[in-house]
Amino acid sequence: MITLEKLPYEVSALEPIIDTQTIELHYGKHHQWYVNKLNELIAGTVYEKESLENIIKTSNWPIFNNAAQIWNHTFYRNQLQAPKENTLATGKILDAIVATRESFEKFQEAMIASAVGNFWSGRTWLVQHVDWTLEILNTSNAWCPLTMDKKALLTIDVREHAYYLKYQNRRVEYVTNIWKCINRDKVNEIFAQ
């Protein structure tokens, strides 16, 4: 049985960047719905005792869709923290970003541009290849780096329910502001694994 992982912060912790109502709906209703639906779909199947990652890598639609949405939502939420002004990367991840994009600022501009231009209802990721190179990648719907043998380091959720209550159609404002909530220590921890 798959369970909804507890938020690593209070529902109001991301204010004013992401409002409490959005977290309550996005996490408490939307994310929970995917968990409930997946458990309904896998009951009595070979997936019933599998890890979420294995379900994603080996299943087909609609099981895949629900499992990947759970993983994507959890990954997104777990990289966030209460807003801070300085969330610039540090350490080895900064070195890798600079090697790829010349500076953190150029990387951030590219990530924002990619998220703003992501036509689909999906996510924009910073991923790491097996050769340690980095790539900015857009996915739609439930697709995620797990299905591409790429390691997810960071994501911006650009599905409308992630920001629409506060930002309406102002995606640029949302993807610019969300950087204040990125937990750089978490991104560094993932990169170091």
- Residues 8-35: tens digit of each pLDDT: 999 999 999 999 999 999 999 999 999 9
Distance in angstroms (rounded) separating the CA atoms of residues 193 and 92: 12
Average pLDDT score over residue span 107-115: 97
Which domains can be identified in the chain, with CATH numbers? 20-78 (1.10.287.990), 91-192 (3.55.40.20)
| Count of residues making up the chain | 193
Distance in angstroms (rounded) separating the CA atoms of residues 103 and 186: 20
How large a percentage of the chain has pLDDT more than 90?
A: 90
The string of pLDDT tens digits covering residues 34-60 is 999 999 999 999 999 999 999 999 999
Distance in angstroms (rounded) separating the CA atoms of residues 4 and 83: 24
